[in-house]
Amino acid sequence: MPHRVRPIARIRLARSLPRLLLVPVVVALAGSGAIAAGLVVVDGLAGIALAVLGGIVVIGALGASAVLLSVRLEVEESAVGLTWLGGERIYPLSPGPVTRVQLRGEHASRIRARTGALGWAVGRARLRDEEEIELVRLAPTRTAILVPTERGRLAIAAANDDILLDALSRAARARQRLEALSDPDPAPAMIAPQPAQPAEAAHTEPPALTG
């Protein structure tokens, strides 16, 4: 596991609580109904088994809700860290432009997530049916910021894009300072601009990526 360092910034993600909690709540209600039926309607071992099954369903729904609500994102000098209840994933940053992709509206780019529902998704996704990316989107936002990482591009739906872009710029500058200290006479390629340089790069994607 990569070594964690003190983050440059903690990024607040856009969240839609009704969309995040709708499925877990429905599942929990179904589990509660099974518990009630097992205790009141169904007799004998079958009723006990139904009540136990309902309890497991309720616990699973509550656990899923807790995990979704605990998702956090941090920007470090050389990585973006995604954490949740009981786990984390580190995305080491790689050189490349930071761009903004439109996900809703007339010119929206199509994105298909493998895990998610009702406008939210976390994990692997496919952008424009041609690029495998990682996605962190907890609300049906109009846009997401695409960050180049060693795992592929990471699409982040932040509550405030400008705060995320500023954090990525600060991370790039900090990384350049560390590289300059470690190598007094670096080759030009070693101090080339890193992710989140000019803010203009985040407003439209390179022509090769449109469509």
pLDDT digits (tens, 9 = 90+) for 18-71: 999 999 999 999 999 999 999 988 888 999 999 999 999 999 999 999 999 999
Least Cα distance to 99 among 11, 207, 206 occurs for 206
pLDDT score recorded for residue 186:
53
Whole-number pLDDT of residue 4: 57
Q: What is the pLDDT of residues 186-197, one digit of tens each?
A: 544 433 334 433
Q: Is the pLDDT of residue 111 over 80?
A: yes
Strand-pair category, 120-127 with 116-117: antiparallel
Backbone torsion region of residue 7, taken as left when φ is above 0, otherwise alpha when ψ lies between -120 and 50, otherwise beta = beta
Smallest CA-to-CA distance from 151 within 74, 67, 89 is with 89
DSSP-derived 3-state class of residue 58: helix
Note the pTM of the prediction, 2 decimals. Answer: 0.76
User: Binning pLDDT at 50, 70 and 90, where does residue 205 land?
Assistant: very low
